[in-house]
Amino acid sequence: MLICWYVAIYCVALSLEQNIHSTAEKSVAIDENAKLVIFGMRHGNSHPRTFLNENSRTWGFEGVDELTQFGKREGFGFGKELREFVGPLVANNYMRHEVAFYTSSANRFYPPDTFAEWNHALEWSPVPYTIDNPMLQMYSVPNCSTTQKAWEPIIRDDLPELMLMIAANEQLLEYIAEHTGWNTSIESASDLANNILEMNLYNASFPDWIERPTLAEFDKRSLREAVMTFLDMHLLTCVSYEPCRNIMGGVWLGHILTTLRNAVDSQQSQKFIGYVSHLEVTLSVMKLLRINQTLLDTSAGFLVEYRDKPNKSIRLLFHETLAIDRHIIRQAEYVEELEELSDSDRWIPFESFYQLVKDEAITNWEEACGRQVAQCTTSGSDNVMSITDNSSGDSTLADHHITSLASCVIAIYFRNIVIMHLLSYSIMT
């Protein structure tokens, strides 16, 4: 079954270059009583983290891991569909009092330069966004033992399902290692799968060892299909492995619940909140939200719609690319326990939803990482100021995009009236 899923991904990727889709499906409409829309998305199509060492490569000039021209178009297609969905809920220009966007520190900002320039006819304007790695890229946060422990059996291929996959594909993995110089591992096969995906999109030529394989029982087609079963394998394993899923998506879930709680309590002025992250993070939070989704294509993700009439309730939606430039928003599929809470139109009472998912939300990412409680002390004083959020109440899930070090510095500044004056001046200017 797992192999079939990955072959399906491969076939979808091949169809992207044709930029067609036979389904005349239309996006769902926003509810007339909607007060808040939240979206999360996986970033658009991007280059592999490791390129095949081929002298004739004519693609990938943006660099490893960077967005491709297809990824930019995917993101733009979603932006258009999203703008049509929210309609007059927010102004044409994204203003800070109405919207907020969150991303990780991965390079995904537009516009690029020189060969990567695209569509000068559009008026590009800045939008208010915050970089928040603990929420959207936890694996890049240093000194997080919980993340390290969760990823270790995945990276080392020590989980039973990964060990079985290696045993079943031993000759293929050795063949890949022989011709790439990479390690004999699932990670290497996944890197090759990403290269094949992009080479198909760019209509690039394959090296001879892929075009005319010498591995027994494989031809050109079957070799590519076998390699594509490894696409994003470690990332998807993280989503299915509970310790990894919870630490990857828990902070994000907490932020979503905080935003929804504030809306319910009429304390949320912003009406449109968006997040952009990576496959394993986005799909993990979708699982924690109880969306029944196993795979996630580039630029795909979820929406949470909140309304206050006829009762305070939410609806979960799913969005994905139908073709490179075309996106669709439709009803998400719920897991059984969430389905039981929803009405015939798939709306779920907020409090029931909150009680179902709240236990997996992370309210303090430093504690979740196993760090010691950070404390600030001032010279010549016995006073100690803790900057760790120890709130345990359901309604006090918090933002965590300010680091402990920055919080300590600010706290110390406010202990000194002269420094406070300088700080105030710097903020105003």
Return the CATH fold of 2-151+235-358.
Rossmann fold (3.40.50)
139 φ, ψ (degrees, to nearest 5): -65, -15
- Assess contact for 352 and 341: CB atoms under 8 A: yes
Query: What pLDDT does residue 95 have?
Result: 85
Q: Which has the closest alpha carbon to 200: 398, 13, 362?
A: 13
- Maximum Cα interatomic distance, the chain, rounded to a whole number of Å: 77
Q: Which has the closest alpha carbon to 128: 149, 104, 100?
A: 100
Identify whether 207 is preceded by a cis peptide bond (ω within 30 of 0): no
Instruction: Map out the domains of the chain as residue ranges.
Output: 2-151+235-358, 372-428
Contacts of 132 (CB under 8 A, 6+ apart): 102, 103, 104, 400, 401
Whole-model pTM: value is 0.80
- C-alpha 122/C-alpha 119 separation (Å) is 6
| Tokens (6 digits) for 255 | 């932020």
- C-alpha 131/C-alpha 59 separation (Å) is 29
pLDDT in tens, the chain (429 residues): 444 444 444 444 444 444 444 446 899 999 999 999 999 999 999 999 999 987 678 899 889 999 999 999 999 899 999 999 999 999 888 888 999 999 888 755 455 455 545 566 665 555 678 888 999 999 889 999 999 999 999 999 999 999 999 999 999 999 999 999 999 999 999 999 999 999 999 999 999 999 999 999 999 999 999 999 999 999 999 999 999 999 999 999 999 999 999 999 999 889 999 999 999 999 999 999 999 999 999 999 999 999 999 999 999 999 999 999 999 999 999 999 999 999 999 999 999 999 999 999 999 999 999 987 555 444 444 443 333 333 333 433 433 333 333 332 322 222 232 222 222 223 233
Q: Which has the closest alpha carbon to 122: 170, 160, 83, 89?
A: 83
